[in-house]
Structure 1
Amino acid sequence: MHDTVITYTTLARLSGLLKLMRPKQWVKNGFVLAPLMFSGDFLNAGAVSHALFATLLFCLASSATYIVNDMRDIEHDRRHPKKSKTRPLAAGIVTIPMALTLLAVLYSTLVWGWFVAPDVVQVIAAYMILNLAYTFILKHEPVVDIFTIAIGFVLRVYAGAVALGVPVSSWMFITTLCLALYLAAVKRRQELSQNGIEGRKVLAKYSVSLVDRYAEMSATGALVFYSMFVMSAKPQLVITVPLVLFGLFRYWYVVEELDGGESPTDALIADWQLLLTVVLWIAACGWALWPGQGL
């Protein structure tokens, strides 16, 4: 019986450590693969391996930032009605020493990654420094907090380009920034409308109408700049523009009518139409950019 209790405790802690890394959020690191798609190198085994390795390193780096953030906010999370049960540190499933050990493993792996792909790890280092600044300072500054989140997505795209040694179109950078600003603004909107100002201190400096305007402006910018990118650099991708437009419309519907959007990842996974749109967009991009494919 005693051994069984120990086993259950060990499994709970291992599960808690995995949850502490927030693997569900690794979906965001799919942005690292964007240059692989748009460069047309997705049939090149070497390019694919480099892109996947960069994505893996970014997953580890993002997990490390989540752990630091959770340790920083542990007392606040313990008072939160939801986070006190869902965050492993706040719930007491994982201890601070365990979290520090996991953090050391992640950092050590990234150091090893430096010797394999130093240019990529340089970008990741910039991402981690930015997120440390966000955790301790920037997340309390209105507007700056939203832009900090968005820049993290731009760095993901840049890391993917560096991994492949290919240039990134300025259009892709600005499109990524606008799309990320849209997602971040919607996230703030939902946090504010669902939890009021209790969830984050910075929410007291926002209003739903204000972040709605931020989201609308960013979504419009993302659509316009993506369309300009397609028309100027990849005209064969014009078939994907309606999918992008539908995805923006559907995501806003999920936010407004289904009360989703506080977590973009959860919204994507939970809504089959959004998920199907992303799959169709990837398939359409692959078909249009397939080597030798002419339109």
Structure 2
Amino acid sequence: MNNIVPPHALLSKLAPLIRLMRPRQWVKNAFVLAPLLFSGLFLDGVEVIKALWATLLFCLTSSAVYIVNDMHDVERDRQHPLKSKSRPLAAGTVSPRDAMILLAFLGLIVLLGSLSMPNVGAVLLGYIVMNLGYTFWMKHEPVLDIFTIASGFVLRVYAGAMALDAPVSGWMFVTTLCLALYLASVKRRQELLQSGNEGRKVLEKYSVALVERYAEMSATVALIFYSLFIMSEKPDMIMTIPVVLFGFFRYWYVVDMLEGGESPTDALFSDRQLQLTLLVWVVLCAWLLAVNKAVVPDLM
């Protein structure tokens, strides 16, 4: 009995490992579910399970990528006022050995899980390769770093489509890309304003005015493409356009007035109106698609 580890002691050991996986960032993987929503297949239980399984695999894959990134940046993170405390490796609450064990464990789960969905596995492999390139090179290159971040969201949508074996939507891809470019540009803006050039090396090659123009252009184009998609292909969903517009306005408010936006996930978790806007949009889309019996697997 003396060898049994008390639950609170076990939890205290697991907590840093869980933080290393950055579960708060898993909300980004909700993009994997976008094809499920717009195809109308959310009414099919089997398809829902496929989409959720693909989302879980993407969550574990993204966590593995975060671990690699943290291992690579550990010395730099130790010099950062916030990351030195929030990143387990930089803070010393997780050893490099434990991080490697966790990384191997996640990799094994993703590999085995991908056997049931080879198409999704191929997308995950592409995501891993792209992010390795980002960690070791592309995050130091201006513009390329923003597009790499945005491309990760496009791959999430593509993985969702592959899981459902549904046609790929050009509309959905370009809208997702522009939305992600907007979020990435805002992130760089807030990093510049809050940390200056100390946050990351690539910030030396940006200015606040430049990334603001990137963000404004991306937001405008994302709204235009989404509106064109709705009006031309799914006119019954036109009621969702004002909700999306409000979401953009509210996010800019959080960024400018509440100094959020350095982490889009933190901005979402901290603002009730953003959370409510997202919930209203999802429920409204699902209701309109269900009412109009839009259950054909056609994302176009």
- TM-score, structure 1 length as denominator? 0.96
Q: Aligned partners of 1:6 and 1:241: how far apart in 2?
A: 52
CA contact (8 A) 1:40 1:291 kept: no
For residues 122-159 of structure 1, the C-alpha deviation after alignment (integer angstroms, 9 at most, x for no partner) is: 00110011000000000000000000000000000000
Change (3 A) 1:4 1:86: farther
Residues 1:126 and 2:126 are matched in the alignment:
yes
**Structure 2: distance between partners of 1:93 and 1:69:** 17
Corresponding position of 2:90: 90
| Superposition pairs of residues 7-86 of structure 1, within 5 angstroms | 10-86=10-86
Show the counterpart of 2:110. 110
* CA displacement, residues 9-47 of structure 1 (integer Å, 9 cap, x when unaligned): 653331000000000000000000000000001010110
Give the letter for the 2:63 counterpart: S
Q: Deviations over 1:199-258 (max 9, x none)?
A: 000000000000000000000010000001111221111110000000001100100111
Letter in 2 for 1:236: D
Q: How big is the shift at 1:166?
A: 0.5
Q: Give, in whole Å, the separation in 1 of the partners of 2:285 and 2:8.
A: 46
Q: Per the alignment, in what secondary structure is the counterpart of residue 262 of structure 1? A: coil
Is the CA contact 1:78–1:84 (under 8 Å) kept in the aligned structure 2?
Answer: yes
Cα drift, residue 79 of structure 1: 1.1
SS of 1:116's partner is coil
Residue 298 of structure 2 is matched in structure 1 by: none
Change in Cα spacing, 1:292 to 1:253, as seen in structure 2 (3 Å) is closer
Deviation at 1:8, TM superposition (A): 6.4
Corresponding position: 1:150 with 2:150: yes
Taking the aligned partners of 1:94 and 1:6, their CA distance within structure 2 comes to: 20
Shift of 1:113: 1.5
Partner of 2:259, secondary structure, is coil
The percentage of aligned residue pairs carrying the same residue is 63
2:41 partner SS = coil
After TM superposition, the structure 1 stretch with the greater mean CA deviation from structure 2, 8-17 or 263-272, is 8-17
Q: How many residues align?
A: 293
Structure 1 residues 210-249: aligned runs within 5 Å: 210-249=210-249
**Aligned residue identity for 2:143:** V
- Residue 275 (str. 1) matches residue 275 (str. 2): yes
Whether the 8 Å contact between 1:287 and 1:293 is mirrored in structure 2 is: no
TM-score normalised per structure 2: 0.94
List runs of 5+ in structure 1 lacking aligned partners: none
Whether the 8 Å contact between 1:88 and 1:94 is mirrored in structure 2 is yes
Moved over 4 A (4+): 2-10, 291-294
Q: Which stretch of structure 1 is more off in the superposition, 40-49 or 228-237? A: 228-237
